[in-house]
Amino acid sequence: MPVHPTPAIDPGPLYEEFVRLFVAHEGQVRGFLRSLLPAWADVDEVMQETSLVAWRKFARFERGTNFLAWVFTIARFEALDHLRRRGRERLIFSDAVADLMTEEAAQESDTLERQRRALDRCLAKVGDPQRELLLLSYQPGAKLHEVAARAGRSVEGHYKAVQRLRARLLDCIEGEMKREIA
């Protein structure tokens, strides 16, 4: 029996715009949900529901407004609904507390995004060998002694070099943040 290829489905520009925005903010939404929910399994479940509800309502999202704040509002309602369904009323926050948490999470998210942009600019100012040394040191699963050996340094020498680079980056980030605010 011949196998026929499944025709490609073009979801359209609205779907692509939604996916682009949602994926860009997914980590922030997960962090926000973790602040409201008792377990990561709950976060995964509510995250999935949040993405579905946000997609269903996306046509009504006002372009040019704060997408993250909009998704946080949806996520908050989905988290509260999840807690009610699970019978954890004692864990449900009042609307005032939930609103405050949403506002603080949105502000923190903006600050983290500005810090990330500043870090990118500062990393671009660091020489290639130093940037590579730093990035290798912070890769998942990186072992200090292996990175030090690769750089031709003792573990202590490598540690000191990384600490100096970190201090330099911190100064640079603080300067960049001040310039961005001014």
What residues make up the domain containing 176? Answer: 126-182
Q: pLDDT, tens digit, for every residue of 101-141? A: 766 766 677 777 788 888 888 888 988 888 888 888 887 78
Indicate if 41 and 110 belong to the same structural domain.
Answer: yes
Output the six-digit token pair for 179: 């310039």
Burial 129-157 (b: 16+ CB within 10 A, else e): ebbebbebbeeeeeeeeebbeebebeeee
Q: Give a yes or no: residue 170 inside a domain.
A: yes
Q: Is residue 2 part of a domain?
A: no
- Cβ atoms of 98 and 128 within 8 Å: the answer is no
Mean pLDDT check: name the lowest of 25-34, 81-90, 95-104, 155-164: 95-104
Domain's final residue, options 58, 86, 115: 115
3-state helix, strand, coil in the chain (%, to 5): 80, 0, 20
pTM beyond cutoff 0.85:
no
